[in-house]
Every structure is written in C-alpha cells, then in structure tokens.
Amino acid sequence: MIQYQIREELLKNIKNDRVPNAICFIDKGGRGSLKLASEMGLTIVKNLNASSNDLNYIHPDLHYVYPTKIPKKKNEKLFKKDMSAFYIDKWREFMNAQIYGSVDEWLDFSSFDNKNGTIRVDQISKAISILNLKPFQSDKKVCVIWGMNLLKEEAANKLLKIIEEPPKKTYFFLIAEDEKKIMPTITSRCQIIRLPPLRTEEIKENLIKMGHDASLALEASKASNGSLNEGVAKVYNEEIIKERERLFIDCLRGCYMASNRADFSHIIKISNDLGALNKSDLKHLLLFGINFIRQSFFYSNGVKRLYEFKSLNDFSIENFAIYVSNKNYKKLISLLELNLYYIGRNANIKILSTSFLFELSNILYEKN
C-alpha cells in the first residue's frame, strides 16, 4: 500500500475528528499524493465508509480543482462558465488511468495544444460558491486542489481567504510539487505533509499489480527515483523495447528459414506484421535493428569495450553474431538506413516490409 504510515495517521485523525481544515501535500512526483488525498477525501465525506468500490473517486461532496488550458474558440464560452467542469470527463478518465501521473501529463492528456495550463481565479471562485452550499449527501465537504504550483496569484489570494475562514465542516487538500512556489501565507495556514520517496519494493509490487512483467517491474523500480510514475514510464519503455526486440528477432528467424530451408511462409507472415505497423513504429524498429546489427558486429569482431547488448527476450546475440562480418556489415547497415529513408518518403509500408525482409535474408544468409 502506497504511503502506508501517512495514510494510517490520516485515517486515525479522521476517525478521531482531528483533521485540520487545510492540508498541503508536497509530492516531488509520482509519490501518490492525488490518490492519497482522494481516498482521504472520500473517507471523510462517506464518514469512514469508503471502500474499494469507490475507486472512481466520484461523490457529490468531493470536489476537484486542477490546472486547465483555454480550449479552442468555439468552446471558450462553455469553458468560462465552469472551467473545471469543462474538463471533468477527461479528469475522471485521467484519474482512472494515470492517478500517479504528473501535472504536465494531465495537461497533455486533457488537450493536444501547446498552451500553458493554470488554475485561474474563476475556478477558485466557482469552487468557493459550491463549497458555500449545503452538502448533497454528507455533512462534510472536501475540495482537492491539485497542481498548486500553477495557481495564479489572483487565484491564490482568493483561495487564502476561504482557507482563513472556511465554511463549516469543509476541508481543503492542496497538492504541490514545490513548497517554495506556494504563497507563504497559504502554507502557514496548512498542515504540511511531505511525502517521502516510495520504496523500491512498493513500486515493484504496484507495477506487478498493474499487470507488468515481474522482472521488468524490478528493474524499473530500481531506477525510478522513488516515483511510481517514473517506474511506470520506465517499465512501459522496457516493454516497448522488449516487443521491438522480439519482432526484429522474428525477422531474422524468418529470413533464415527463407534462405536456408526455402520456407517463405515465415517471411510472408512477418511482412504482414510489419505492414500493420504505423510509420513511427516501423521507423523505431529499423533504428533498433541498426543498433542490434552493430552490437552483433562488435561481438563477432571481439570489440568487447563497445559491446553492451542485453536481451530482454533471453536471445543469445552471441550465436547470431557469426552471421555479421566485415563482408556484409556495411550492406546490412545501408539496407536499414535506406528503408528508413523510404519511410520518410512515404513509401507503401506493406510493399516496403516484404522487399526489406527478402533483401535482409539475401545479405545475412547469402551462400559463399
């Protein structure tokens, strides 16, 4: 369980009705602040009756304020009416998919344009007007404000006033990455909870729960800097590389079957697999292939100081390296680079893939 000790302390305070009106969670990134604040907020408004069935964090007395971008002109009027509500569907989708994600990831997720995201005074004003109403189902209200470092000054001053004199039984959970970038007058009125980096074991267990391979989860957790979000990114990248390696190895095996056994069924199948890739994925596969051939060449020539290949599929590159020599190395690299060029020139992917595999087979396994 993420941030177990802090969670238990907060639950104890909720049970004993000793929760301060304003808590500010300082989270350097991927340490679980949004999930923690949401769970505690839900526990408060449901009077300790929150359960695992409430993981969508939807409750009429649990409110969220988050950074938003100004949308396209045709939607501006609707956006200005309620800036947080305008993105509410996207926000719920983000929380379900990336609750450990960063503010930048949320802003990219919510909108594809390059505009800056901020928390505006109108968002705080709207939240205040809602919080001043009678609760819908509970006798308490909670407002989670995420991305405090993007709070505009006018909005910060507005927020300060309600934190100083909050409505009865209203709680504010503020979340920021950098404590120094929040108005001191706001932090001075909050209980500050600094979330520590997550332990490697915590990150590994959560990555496995998300369905990732255990060995990849372990490696990613070691390099995650205490951030589950960083761990997710690393294991995701590892899985992409693992699949890329598997596909390129399939290409090599198909080429071998075609050249040495006159069995072309594998090449046809693999060419269909490659033909189904988009141009970006095929480009990255060919770039992977260039590095793979280079590593094989280094190994076959005994240049151990440059050899650094580590298979994610338990493939023995040492056994393959005998097929890469001074005789064909330049031809192989040229073939891969030429096909990269063709992709850039919008060549037909299916035709290109078939032609590439037959040429690769001829160069790699040509008879002396």
- The pLDDT value recorded for residue 51 is 63
The alpha carbon dihedral of 315, 318, 320, 325 has a sign of positive
Q: Directed axis angle between helix 200-209 and helix 214-222, to 10°? A: 150
Closest residue by Cα to residue 344 from 276, 286, 267: 286
Residues 302, 304: Cα–Cα separation, whole Å: 6
- The pLDDT value recorded for residue 368 is 44
CB 233 within 8 A of CB 35: no
Domain ranges of the chain: 4-196, 237-364
CATH number corresponding to 4-196: 3.40.50.300
Q: Directed axis angle between helix 33-45 and helix 4-15, to 10°? A: 20
Q: Which two tokens stand for residue 150?
A: 């993007």
- The pLDDT value recorded for residue 344 is 85
Across the strands, what pairs with 170? 141
Could you tell me the mean pLDDT of each successive run of 10 residues in the chain, 368 residues long? 90 95 96 96 88 75 94 76 85 92 92 83 95 94 97 96 95 96 96 96 93 90 92 90 94 90 88 91 93 93 79 90 93 96 90 94 79
